[in-house]
Amino acid sequence: MADEKPTSWWATLPGLLTAAAAVITAVTGLLLGLGQLGVFDGGRPAATSGGSPAAGTSQPGPPPPGGTATGAGEGAGWTVALPAERTYRSSDIEYELLEARVRPEVAGKVALTISVRCTNHGRYDINFWDSTFRLNAGAVSLSPDAGLNELVAGDSSKSGDVRFTVPADTRGALLRIKFAQGESTAQLTISPP
């Protein structure tokens, strides 16, 4: 018995589980840190969280009369008509459609981007994310592809973009805003140049 060697902690099951947990924690922390630095944003500008826009940027202004928002500078002549009623509320959550833009995407597709302001009238943080929105274009229900995922603190507002890739021949679409107690809809009309 005197020749028996003590086993290393690496050779025990609790030691292996502790090492695996440490590696998973380190990798998760690294990915979260890189995500907050904007490494995974794919060329999109970083979102600002504050009351005033950064230098060189502009906030979406009020839409032109008649409910039409143009995509000037992006889609060269494409226009999107938003409904007259642009504010949708359920309980403590309110969404306001600020503007819409269209620009050519890949062959046969266009990118429809809708700027939305989320206002949290409640006390607790809420998610402001793509999962809240769907677009019915023709007989197809589409999910957004921009990756909006923000927290809106209680008694505050935040704006963000919801982007859909739709067929270029789409002229009418129905934006669906999902709430816990149901959903609201907004009719959009897309006009090519």
19-45 pLDDT, tens digit each:
888 889 988 888 877 777 666 655 444
Place 160 in a pLDDT band, splitting at 50, 70 and 90. Answer: very high
Torsion of CA 49, 58, 79, 69, to 10 degrees: 80
Phi, psi angle pair for 19, to nearest 5°: -65, -40
What pLDDT does 76 receive? 63
Supply the DSSP symbol for 131: G
pLDDT at 81 over 90: yes
* CA–CA dist 47, 53 (Å, integer): 10
More confident residue, 117 or 73: 117
Q: Where are the domains of the chain?
A: 68-191
pTM exceeds 0.85 for this model: no
What is the CATH number assigned to the segment(s) 68-191?
2.60.40.4170
